[in-house]
A and B are shown apart, each in its own frame.
Chain A
C-alpha cells in the first residue's frame, strides 16, 4: 500500500520553511526521498534507515519515526531551486528491494 504524503501541494516565498510528511500503514525499514522537477527524472535527496542512520542532502534534513511509521522532510530557508515534486519511498522489512512511493507533494517557491 502506498504511503500517504501531506500536504499534496504547498506554495512558499523564498526564505520560508516547509515540512512534507510521509506516513505508512506498514512497518518500515527505510524511507527514501526524491525530488522531481517538471519534465525531468527524479533525483535522490536522502535515505533514512531504521536505527537512525541518515545519508543525503546538505541543506535538506529529515526525520524518521519508526514507531509511528512516519517520516518528515524539512526544507528550511527555501530557494527557487527547491520547486518541484517531492516523493517519499518506503521499504518494508526484509531487504526485498521493493520500494513503494507516495503520490508526491508539489512544492512551488516564489520570489
Chain B
C-alpha cells in the first residue's frame, strides 16, 4: 500500500530535550516536505526537499532541522524544543515538481507534539 508513515504519532516532551520525528514514504517520491498545523493558521511549511541531499527552508524553519540522506526518509529534528513548537506536524511527499508543481502531495497521518 502506498503510504507516508510518521513516528511517533503522539509525543509529550520537556523543553530542551532533543527529539526526532521520522517520516518515510514507499512511493519512490523525490519531493518531501514538513508542515506544522496550528488552529487558525492553516498548514505552514517548515522545510522541504526536492531530492536526496537537497533541502530548503519553508516559511517557518526556525528551531527545526532536517536531513535527506535517503530518498524514502525525511526526519524532522528539534534540537532544543520549546513550548511554541507544540503543534500537529505533517510530513508529505510527491513526485518531483517538473515544469510545474503538478503533482499531488500525499500526507502522513500526523504527529501531535506537546512541549512542556
Instruction: Tell me the A residues contacting B by CB distance below 8 Å.
Output: 2, 29-30, 32, 34, 40-44, 47, 49-50, 53, 55, 87, 89, 91, 95-104
- Shortest CB–CB separation between residue B47 and chain A, in angstroms? 10
Closest residue on chain A to residue B31 by CB atoms: A97
- Shortest CB–CB separation between residue B35 and chain A, in angstroms? 8
- Shortest CB–CB separation between residue A39 and chain B, in angstroms? 9
Give B93-107 interface residues, CB cut-off 8 Å to A.
Answer: 97-107
Contact of B43 among A29, A50, A87 (CB under 8 A): A87
Contacts of A43 in B (CB 8 A): 107
Pairs A-B, 7 closest by C-beta atoms: A44-B104, A41-B107, A101-B43, A103-B42, A101-B42, A91-B101, A104-B42
B62 within 8 A of partner (CB): no
Contact-size category for B = 20 to 34
Contacts of A97 in B (CB 8 A): 31, 33, 48, 50, 56, 97, 101
B41 within 8 A of partner (CB): yes
Known: A44-B105, A97-B50. 8 other contacts (CB 8 A): A41-B107, A44-B104, A47-B102, A87-B43, A89-B43, A95-B99, A95-B100, A99-B45
- Shortest CB–CB separation between residue A106 and chain B, in angstroms? 11
Evaluate contact between A98 and B56: CB separation under 8 angstroms: yes
Evaluate contact between B42 and A32: CB separation under 8 angstroms: no
Contacts of A32 in B (CB 8 A): 101, 104-105
